[in-house]
Amino acid sequence: MSSSKSLTIAVAGLGQRIAVVLRNLIAAAPQARIVAYADPEPYGLPSLTKRGIGTGRVYSDVATMLAETKPDLFVIGSPNHLHLGHIKAGLAAGVRIFTEKPIVRTEDETWELARLLAKHGETSVLVGLVMRSSPLTKAVSSLIADGRVGQLISMDGNEHLHPEHGAFLMRDWRRREEFGGSFLLDKCCHDFDIYRSFIGSLPKRVASFGGRTIFTSENGARLNGPKYEDGTAAYTVWRKGWNTSNATFGSDADVNDHQVAIVEYENGVRLSFHANTHAGLPQRRWYFAGTEGAIEADLVSDHLVVRDALGLKPAKTVPIETGAGAHEGMDPAMGRDLAAHLLEDKPFPVNAYDAIVAGLTVMAIDKAMRENVVVECAPLWDRLHTELGR
């Protein structure tokens, strides 16, 4: 990063995920420094200190921290149920905000946030929808824009997690909707953000089915017990964080461990989606079918193939350079995007409106699942645009 501008950062919620975000931002902007944080249980602190990244003064109160440090950027990595309160504190202090996804947790929180953004400006809050920075996302978007599929007719997407990842979700604070929102909201809201960006339209109506039938006591009696070659017990590999449970199977979790959904968009494109937290073949795969061709892409393997619809030419594999780093290169890429935006005024690939739409889409999907109905989405967009003053 060529800019000589300084960048001071204050943090609310120094968890493991936001520590990754901070590491990559500071790697892209070495002049950035963390001047303070507020978190009674900073589980992400060791990953910063072992890399020589200072974290500044410790505060017990976010408002006091912001008033005394006056940072250039206020980074929110707290559990999802605290996001809105911390966003309100940042806006009241007049500082620029970056928050992890999901931006908020419920419809009521969404409307309150929209009113705040109408007052303070939609650009006052940046959101970590990391898939927007993915090299694979950018390559797929370019192929669609170049007309390689022609008119997009339908697509399917999935997110199939390794069982250790699923086990972590059943132990972590995200296992409870009161803290994280639904499984689909916390884990997959940026998937639905990406789908809308590819499709180019707002969702029109949604339907869904799902449940928690994998990480149950009954299955635990049968599946628990295996160990890896180094002696580590299965379903315990991922590190614990705040408010974790020791029970992987049959914990007090109330979130789904698998879900399917279908979405029809206002422009007529249809989407099917499948998520599972106990998959022997992990995938984050997209398949696009259009009038002129098809694209298949997988974020786990960095696989991208495009072919004309009739197969008159050989399928073309498009090379993807992700580089090193977590999330298949997405985290370093988002760090660079964030640094370029904050220090050089370059566009950031996602905004608060995108994050709100993604969240409301998932909330509609979850409502359809709970109530066993097809949910029409137009009232959500009408109210959102009214609350934002658009």
Predicted local distance difference test score (pLDDT) of residue 321:
77
Q: 306 - beta bridge partners?
A: 295, 316
Residues 250 and 180 in one domain: yes
Question: pLDDT band for position 163 (50/70/90)?
Answer: very high
The stretch 164-186 carries a mean pLDDT of 97
> At residue 63, does pLDDT exceed 90?
yes
The stretch 349-354 carries a mean pLDDT of 96
Predicted local distance difference test score (pLDDT) of residue 260:
98
- On whether residue 56 sits in a domain, the answer given is yes
> At residue 324, does pLDDT exceed 90?
no
Q: What is the DSSP string of 320-367?
A: ----SSTGGGHHHHHHHHHHHHHHH-PPPS--HHHHHHHHHHHHHHHH
> At residue 1, does pLDDT exceed 70?
no
Residues 68 and 189 in one domain: no
Cα 169 to chain centroid, rounded: 14
Residues 93 and 181 in one domain: no
Mean pLDDT score of the chain, rounded to an integer?
95
Determine contact, residues 186/174, Cβ cutoff 8 Å.
Answer: yes
> At residue 52, does pLDDT exceed 70?
yes
Q: Which domain holds residue 154?
A: 132-327+351-388
Predicted local distance difference test score (pLDDT) of residue 251:
86
The dihedral built from the CA positions of residue 336, 342, 343 and 344, taken in this order, carries a sign that is positive
Boundary of a domain, candidates 59, 76, 100: 100
| Per-residue pLDDT tens digits for 309-318 | 999 999 999 9
> At residue 364, does pLDDT exceed 90?
yes
Place of tokens 């410790």: 58
- Report the number of distinct structural domains present in the chain: 2
Residues 308 and 262 in one domain: yes
The two tokens of residue 141 are 């978007």
- On whether residue 194 sits in a domain, the answer given is yes
Longest dimension (CA), the chain: 65
Q: What angle do CA 12, 353, 303 make, to 5 degrees?
A: 90
Residues 74 and 139 in one domain: no
Instruction: Flag the least confident range among 98-112, 239-253, 282-296, 351-365.
Output: 239-253
| Per-residue pLDDT tens digits for 93-115 | 999 999 999 999 999 999 999 99
The stretch 208-220 carries a mean pLDDT of 96
Determine contact, residues 87/117, Cβ cutoff 8 Å.
Answer: no
- On whether residue 332 sits in a domain, the answer given is no
> At residue 2, does pLDDT exceed 90?
no
- On whether residue 113 sits in a domain, the answer given is no
Q: For residue 119, which amino acid is it?
A: K
Residues 175 and 311 in one domain: yes
Residues 240 and 365 in one domain: yes
CATH of the domain at 68: 3.40.50.720
CATH of the domain at 265: 3.30.360.10
Residue 3's φ and ψ, nearest 5 degrees, are: -65, 145
Residue 375's φ and ψ, nearest 5 degrees, are: -100, 125
> At residue 247, does pLDDT exceed 80?
yes
Predicted local distance difference test score (pLDDT) of residue 343:
97
Determine contact, residues 78/49, Cβ cutoff 8 Å.
Answer: no
Question: Percentage of the chain with pLDDT > 90?
Answer: 93
Residues 165 and 291 in one domain: yes
Residues 272 and 312 in one domain: yes
Predicted local distance difference test score (pLDDT) of residue 313:
96
- On whether residue 1 sits in a domain, the answer given is no
Residues 65 and 203 in one domain: no
Question: pLDDT band for position 239 (50/70/90)?
Answer: confident
> At residue 216, does pLDDT exceed 70?
yes
Predicted local distance difference test score (pLDDT) of residue 311:
96
Predicted local distance difference test score (pLDDT) of residue 5:
85
Q: Classify residue 151 as exposed, middle or buried by CB count within 10 Å of its CB (0-12, 13-18, 19+).
A: exposed
The stretch 125-131 carries a mean pLDDT of 97
**Contacts of the segment 364-370: beta carbons below 8 A, 24+ positions apart:** 364/203, 364/206, 365/184, 365/192, 365/206, 365/207, 365/208, 365/259, 365/261, 365/263, 366/182, 366/184, 366/185, 366/208, 368/206, 368/207, 368/208, 368/261, 369/208, 369/209, 369/210, 369/259, 369/261
> At residue 151, does pLDDT exceed 80?
yes
- On whether residue 122 sits in a domain, the answer given is no
> At residue 3, does pLDDT exceed 70?
no
Residues 58 and 139 in one domain: no
> At residue 329, does pLDDT exceed 90?
no
